[in-house]
């Protein structure tokens, strides 16, 4: 019995995916666990294993094409199993099929009457797990597979299930709900149409680069965040000299270890590593700000899972340092280096960038003095880090020079009020300016 290969849902927001590469071709022998194909989700590339051993047949999905989650992309047949009937188009099969059993004849008679209705149902039926033969029989009988009980592995509908449903008079033609439901979906509001935008520029003075899935996801989520989350912003200046001094001491004291590249320090802390720790400890001090908004309740988190925005070709991704309040600075540093490296090659697992309770976005290395970041739901806060620079400050009535960094906290006002946000960013500032608290 053929085993269906479907496009799996590997990302919380994933509705469609693209196969970026097939590792086998039609007719190849595969073993269970072989990497069958690679899919490109909105934020990562993932390898999908073959669910069974056998011969790969009926590949229905090409590389680089959007495919709905749950859609069958191929089947794996056992050695010697007949694949011809399922692989051929239905019209061809009917033209040369000799008269056979009464059941087959009955199915063909019904197909002549039900053909128009069948063409309306693939969207709904595509999400049902079924063998190719069961799909063909259901299609010919005008049977909606979603109403058939599947007795096969993992609820897969097999030939016997379809025949039993037909015999029991339980067949029902696919309801044309998709055709009538479509107009109800309102198109997304657009400030300007594509044509209106392009008319503003001289023809031939530009090129059009199609959006990939990551860019589409970033655009959709940012529009959702800015249009549905009521943002407000709090900015403070933090003196960095003490933190920079501590960072130097800790890096100088790092033990040396032997690696394939020779001896190197066991860790090398960045300013960002200390900021991650400071934000996590600030959330521990102000737990009411470590929350997520839902319409039903406030989600109060037990740990500070800090996402860190990482720029990658074509967009950005936010890998998460979980339980950052419990981890040492060296652990955070090494974990962050690993996450960032794998993020740039799109090798992160979904659980490594989904969720989190807050985030850090640092543009200081680009010389940006201050900015306000957009909240990434379900986070209630995000901290935007500007560049550390020498500025004139007044201390005890005298003008002195200090290294100062501006940070801006973006806050979801539904979950965190102004005073609570001020308490959180105040705790962060205190930890940055008195950094010994980060190592105790």
Catalytic residue chosen out of the listed positions 71, 231, 303, 413: 413
DSSP characters over 45-98: EEEEE-SS-EEEE-----BT-EEETT-EEEEEEPTT---HHHHS-HHHHHHHPP
Reduced to 3 states (helix: H, G, I; strand: E, B; else coil), residue 288 is helix
Q: Are 61 and 19 in contact (CB under 8 A)?
A: yes
Spatial CB neighbours of 368, under 8 Å, sequence gap ≥ 6: 386, 387
Q: Are 272 and 336 in contact (CB under 8 A)?
A: yes
Residue 31 burial (CB < 10 Å; 0-12/13-18/19+)?
exposed
Q: Are 317 and 336 in contact (CB under 8 A)?
A: no
Give the ranges where 286-368 is alpha helix by DSSP (H): 329-344
Copy the structure tokens of residue 85: 């009937």
Distance CA 250, CA 52 (A): 52
Distance CA 39, CA 71 (A): 13
Residue 89 phi/psi, 5-degree rounding, is -60, 150
Q: Are 404 and 240 in contact (CB under 8 A)?
A: yes
Residue 134 burial (CB < 10 Å; 0-12/13-18/19+)?
buried
Within 10 Å of residue 195's Cβ, how many Cβ atoms? Answer: 7
**303 annotated active-site:** no
Residue 391 to residues 365, 394, 401, 414, Cα–Cα distance (Å): 17, 10, 6, 35
Q: Are 380 and 358 in contact (CB under 8 A)?
A: yes
Rg over alpha carbons for the chain, rounded to the nearest Å, is 29
Catalytic sites, residue numbers: 413
């Amino acid at each position: 019995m053929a085993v269906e290969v479907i496009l799996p849902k590997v990302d919380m927001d994933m509705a469609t995916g693209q196969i970026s590469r097939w590792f086998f071709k039609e007719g190849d022998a595969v073993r269970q666990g072989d990497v069958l194909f690679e899919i490109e989700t909105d934020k990562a590339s993932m390898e999908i294993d073959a669910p069974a051993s056998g011969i790969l047949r009926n590949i229905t999905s090409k590389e680089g094409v959007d495919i709905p989650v749950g859609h069958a992309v191929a089947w794996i047949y056992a050695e010697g199993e007949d694949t011809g009937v399922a692989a051929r188009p239905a019209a061809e099969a009917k033209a040369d099929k000799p008269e056979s059993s009464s059941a087959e004849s009955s199915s063909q008679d019904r197909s002549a009457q039900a053909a128009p209705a069948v063409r309306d149902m693939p969207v709904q039926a595509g999400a049902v797990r079924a063998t190719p033969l069961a799909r063909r029989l259901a299609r010919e009988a005008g049977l909606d597979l979603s109403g058939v009980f599947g007795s096969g592995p993992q609820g897969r509908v097999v030939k016997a299930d379809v025949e039993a449903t037909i015999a029991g008079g339980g067949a029902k033609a696919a309801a044309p709900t998709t055709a009538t439901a479509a107009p109800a979906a309102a198109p997304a509001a657009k400030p300007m149409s594509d044509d209106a935008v392009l008319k503003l520029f001289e023809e031939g003075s530009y090129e059009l680069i199609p959006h990939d899935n990551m860019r589409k996801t970033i655009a959709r989520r940012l529009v959702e965040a800015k249009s549905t989350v009521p943002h407000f912003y709090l900015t403070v200046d933090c003196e960095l000299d003490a933190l920079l001094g501590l960072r130097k001491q800790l890096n100088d004291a790092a033990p040396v270890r032997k690696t394939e590249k020779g001896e190197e320090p066991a860790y090398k802390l960045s300013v960002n590593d200390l900021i991650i720790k400071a934000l996590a400890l600030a959330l521990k001090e102000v737990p009411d700000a470590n929350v997520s908004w839902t319409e039903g309740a406030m989600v109060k988190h037990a740990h500070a899972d800090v996402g860190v925005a990482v720029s990658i070709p074509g967009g950005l991704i936010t890998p998460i340092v979980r339980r950052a309040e419990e981890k040492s600075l060296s652990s955070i540093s090494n974990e962050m280096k690993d996450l960032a490296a794998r993020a740039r090659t799109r090798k992160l697992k979904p659980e490594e960038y989904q969720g989190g309770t807050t985030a850090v976005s640092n543009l200081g290395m680009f010389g940006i003095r201050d900015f306000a970041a957009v909240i990434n739901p379900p986070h209630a806060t995000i901290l935007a880090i500007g560049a550390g620079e020498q500025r004139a400050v007044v201390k005890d009535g005298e003008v002195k020079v200090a290294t100062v960094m501006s940070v801006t906290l973006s806050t979801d006002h539904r979950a965190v009020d102004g005073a609570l946000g001020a308490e959180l960013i105040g705790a962060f500032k205190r930890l940055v300016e008195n950094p010994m608290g980060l190592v105790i």
